Amino acid sequence: MALVHLDQRQLHLKIVYYGPGFGGKTTNLMHLHNRIPPHLRGQWVALKSEEDRTLYFDFLPLNLGSGSGFQTRIHLYTVPGQVRFRRSRLVMLRDVDGIIFVADSHPNRLHANEDSLKDLEMNLVELGLDLTKMPKVFQLNKRDLDPKTPEQVMRRSLGVGENPCFHAVANQGRGVLETLKTMTKMVLRELTPAP
């Protein structure tokens, strides 16, 4: 849920990158951090485990400026994909405005993608939220793999339907910015009252 500071004329949005471990969530944020000019982004915060895996979250605040008279800041988070960190993922989903689901295109990871999506749905239900009613974008990452899971198989498996879906190679930056731009537009559209 967007946080509005009327006295400071600030709008804060929370977007969470969700998906299986090793799927490319942190790689997405790393690319954004490296590409966005320092005056438009905040500090990168990452908590790593002993195995150099994302332990709790990655956090990257972005400043979109003040086109609406409000300073808009997007707070980007990733969650740990490992099963043992379910409670951490639940905490990170509180007050979320939009979800970017990063799916791994490796053929052996289809079930991990499905399991992660089910975990997302369960966590949102526990928070009183419904994935079908919230802004979401799917990113099919690692599309440079050979072999890779066919797009139609992934779309069907994840129930993408009419939701935006992007091909990506996050470690090369392909599809990363497009995914975030679409998600940001969707979240801002949700907040704009209908005429």
What per-residue confidence (pLDDT) applies to 49? 57
CA distance 160 to 145: 21
- Please report which confidence band the pLDDT of residue 74 belongs to, taking 50, 70 and 90 as the band edges: confident
Q: What are phi and psi of 164, to 5 degrees?
A: -60, 140
Q: Domains (ranges, CATH) in the chain?
A: 3-191 (3.40.50.300)
Other beta carbons within 10 angstroms of residue 184's beta carbon come to: 21
- The pLDDT score that the predictor gives to residue 89 is 80
| Apex 49 CA angle, 128 and 20, nearest 5 | 50
Q: Is 57 exposed, middle or buried (0-12, 13-18, 19+ CB in 10 A)?
A: buried
- Write out pLDDT tens, residues 103-161: 999 999 999 999 999 999 999 999 999 999 999 999 999 999 999 999 999 999 999 99
Mean confidence (pLDDT) of the chain: 86
Chain center to CA of 84:
20
pLDDT of residue 56: 42
Whether residue 55 is predicted with pLDDT greater than 70 in this model: the reply is no
